[in-house]
Structure 1
Amino acid sequence: MKPNILVIDDNELRNFLGESLREFGYHVDIADGVPNAMPLMKTRNYHVIITDKNMPGMNGSKDGGFDIAGYSKEYLPNTKVIIITGDRMAEIDRRILDLGIADIVFKPFQMSTLKEKIDKLIRY
């Protein structure tokens, strides 16, 4: 069975990630931002959610990826969340621990690095 992955981003990176991950053999759904991701998260089971940190979130938040991680922690405890970001602030590290984010990928990155992280999370 192919691992199910949800990719969430509000820019075209989501399409590139989706196609690349499909080539690696994963089943991938993509969502354009938080509002479009929520129905998928409520109706499908995902092994991994990959989300951009910096996109519009719930209630005017600018850290939509953290909104996704918070929802996943509460309602999808078996789903692993990977945050993608260009930020390198210490605040990110604290939020990662608070929200139970499984891993973080800093831009720019290689697809092989992302694949390794996904495979590691799926094995455990």
Structure 2
Amino acid sequence: MNLSGQVLVVEDEPAVRSLFCRVLEGLGCGVLHASDGPGALRAFRAAGPGVVVLDLHLPGLDGLSVAGEMLRLRPRTRIIVVTGDPDGELARRAMESGASDYLGKPVDLARLRESVAVNLLIAG
């Protein structure tokens, strides 16, 4: 598959972030990454990716706040939230705030690829 566009992966766990980036590079899109909330917003402002894969538990600024700011800056951004939150409350709140999709941890990598591919196509 060869998709155009850029994806920003925001994940504080280095091994998970690296894995997500490798998997998504296989789609043929540009992949950027950040490890915390402030870094995510810097990368987002600089590159303007169409899709963001966003962990909700981040140092510096929580994922819900990051998602809210990204959607304020670019309302058409497609945000895929990722969380290991056992009760799903954070994911529910993120979806109500405008996230495009939700993936629970541990993430099914095929599902991640599928969600990113669909959201890249929607983002144009």
Alignment RMSD: 1.7
* 2:7 equivalent to 1:9: no
Partner of 2:97: 99
Deviation at 1:90, TM superposition (A): 4.7
Name 1:61's counterpart in structure 2.
none
Runs of 4+ in 1 over 4 A off after TM superposition: none
Structure 1: tracts of 5 or more residues without a match: 59-63
Cα distance, 1:41 vs. partner? Answer: 1.1
* Aligned positions of 1:1-80 closer than 5 A: 2-12=4-14, 13-58=16-61, 64-80=62-78
TM-score w.r.t. structure 1 length?
0.85
Give secondary structure in 1 for the equivalent of 2:54. Answer: strand
| Higher RCO (C-alpha 8 Å, min separation 6) | 2
C-alpha contact 1:57 1:67 (8 A) present in aligned 2:
no
For residues 96-118 of structure 1, give each alpha carbon's deviation from its aligned partner in whole angstroms, at most 9, with x where no partner exists.
24320111101112211111111
Amino acid at match of 1:96: A
CA 1:99–1:57: 2 relative to 1, 3 Å: farther
- Equivalents in 2 of 1:28, 1:6: separation in Å? 6
The percent identity for this pair of structures is 27
After superposition, the C-alpha distances for 1:3-60 in whole angstroms (9 at most, x for unaligned) are: 20000111111111112211221210011111212211112121100011112243xx
In the superposition, the TM-score normalised over structure 2's length comes to 0.85
1:82-106 superposed Cα distances (whole Å, 9 cap, x missing partner): 1111113252254124320111101
